Amino acid sequence: MNVKDDRNTQRITRRLTSVQLIVLFYVSAVVISTILVSLPFAHRPGVELSFVDAVFTAVSAVSVTGLTVVSTIDTFNTTGYFISMFILQFGGIGIMTLGTFVWLLFGKKIGFRERQLIMTDQNRSTFSGLVRLMKQILGLILLIEFIGFLILGTYFMKYFPTWQEAYIQGAFASVSATTNAGFDITGSSLVPFAQDYFVQFINITLLILGAIGFPVLIEVKEYLIHRGNFPFRFSLYTKLTTFTFFALVLIGTLFILVFEQGNFFQGKTWHESFFYALFQSVTTRNGGLATMDVSEFNNATLLGISSLMFIGASPSSVGGGIRTTTFAIALLSIYSFAKGKNTIKVFNREIDQQDVIRSFIVIVTAGIICFFAVILLIRFEPFHLMEITFEVASAFGTTGLSMGITSELSTPGKIIIIALMFIGRIGIFSLLFIIRGKEVKDRYQYPKERVIIG
């Protein structure tokens, strides 16, 4: 066996191990969470949670989606809140870690710089690298959450009778926002804060920090530390995902503002309209919190929001969906093709052909999966196409917004949504990697032949 063969074998082993790690993580996280949310002492008196509802709640929490079949406030007591927070925390951080890790393992040709930035080392074993990465992410997320908790908890004394309640609400709100979980213990999301722009601003900041992607946070941290000392170059990933992220927020805000003129915004001031539009736009990136009942929007707006949820957040973040980079690369590729260019250039870098194909595979696969989910749900559930489309996009994007049909779904319907949250969470790319097994070496070749396209 020569060196090259040996390396190939090693690579395959490492891949299989990481696939097993991912599956192991999610399955055990869901099992443990199902048990935890089923514990009677976490419930309010007299509450019974059916098995499918417990699984739904567990998957929704582990995947930090935030869709709920039971009202959090009516079902869980304070112990239950802390258990939920623990699951969200664990889910969110696990997701970020695995998302980053999968990329490190499968994304070929990663430079030394990127690897250094994410603090892993190819020569270390899979497991110790994972632990190191997780520690880094845990530290960063806990820091963000702690600052959020201090600000929101202190500020909430204005709203709640005791400081204990204010800080419990502050802790839950901070964790829920930073992990983009979208769970709430007010019973009505952030609707009570529809006029409180400060709470909204803090929430928007936390939502964005959670959804912008872990490598972005690390690079920004590095930049701030070494600023001025030596020339720092942000990676293409960071530039692309950050640009797309904020472009989507901006487009979403403008879209909602324009399409709800004369409808939801009738008779509202400009700053009310602006904050409603901004918050609901940011929340589609992945938050799932809302300052209003989204079903008050008209169908065109709801469809637009559905598409934004489908796109989702940055990869290696707590968010789901097809991911911002995937969407950006597809658009860039179409644009370059329409311009007659053979290569795709952006931010003074060239996009790899492999990444282009992968992006399209992710988008089309996601589209097909969501389409089948809609067809099955519309056949067996008594809801409108709009409500079902919205619910499917929300589950796949692990956003957690709903037009209110979640708790009324039949058991098969709930299982479909559970599956979508799960798939949206691990991502199409990882999903395909999980089912693909080991890479098959081509042993034979056929002649190439062109066909007529579209």
For the chain, the residue count is 454
Q: Mark residues 174-193: x for contact with K ion by CB under 5 A, - for none.
A: ------x-x-----------
Q: Which does 52 bind (CB under 5 to 8 A by kind): a second copy, K ion, none?
A: none
Is residue 375 involved in binding a second copy (CB under 8 A)? yes
By beta-carbon proximity to a second copy, the closer residue of 41 and 446 is 446
Is residue 66 involved in binding K ion (CB under 5 A)? yes
CA distance 316 to 218: 12
Interface with a second copy (CB under 8 A), residue from 364, 404, 410, 411: 364
- Cα dihedral value 206, 212, 215, 220, nearest 10: -70
Is residue 450 involved in binding a second copy (CB under 8 A)? yes
Q: Is-contact 206 148, C-beta < 8 A?
A: yes
Q: How many Cβ atoms are within 10 Å of 142's Cβ, its own excluded?
A: 15
In this chain, which stretch among 193-201, 202-210, 406-414, 441-449 interacts with a second copy, using CB under 8 A? 441-449
Using CB under 8 A, which residues numbered 289 to 308 contact a second copy?
298-300, 303-304, 307
Q: Residue 378: left if φ>0, alpha if ψ -120 to 50, beta else—which one?
A: alpha
Shortest Cβ distance from residue 148 to a second copy (Å)?
Answer: 25
- Matching residue, tokens 């007010």: 186
Total interface residues for a second copy by CB under 8 A: 90
Is residue 248 involved in binding a second copy (CB under 8 A)? no
Q: Mark residues 339-358: x for contact with a second copy by CB under 8 A, - for none.
A: xxxxx-x--xxxxxxxxxxx
Most distant pair of Cα atoms in the chain: their distance: 76
Is residue 397 involved in binding K ion (CB under 5 A)? no
By beta-carbon proximity to K ion, the closer residue of 65 and 273 is 65
Is residue 400 involved in binding K ion (CB under 5 A)? yes
Interface with a second copy (CB under 8 A), residue from 215, 287, 288, 397: 215
Please give the DSSP secondary-structure letter assigned to residue 43. B
Q: Mark residues 348-387: x for contact with K ion by CB under 5 A, - for none.
A: ----------------------------------------
Q: Is-contact 426 25, C-beta < 8 A?
A: no
- Matching residue, tokens 């409108």: 384
- Matching residue, tokens 């964790």: 175
CA distance 124 to 23: 22
Shortest Cβ distance from residue 348 to a second copy (Å)?
Answer: 5
SS (H, E, C) 122-152: CCCCHHHHHHHHHHHHHHHHHHHHHHHHHHH
By beta-carbon proximity to a second copy, the closer residue of 285 and 323 is 323
Q: Mark residues 409-438: x for contact with a second copy by CB under 8 A, - for none.
A: ------------------xxx--x--xxxx
Q: Which does 379 bind (CB under 5 to 8 A by kind): K ion, a second copy, none?
A: a second copy
End-to-end CA distance of the chain: 47
CA distance 19 to 12: 11
Is residue 256 involved in binding a second copy (CB under 8 A)? no
Q: Is-contact 416 377, C-beta < 8 A?
A: yes
Is residue 329 involved in binding a second copy (CB under 8 A)? yes
By beta-carbon proximity to a second copy, the closer residue of 144 and 366 is 366
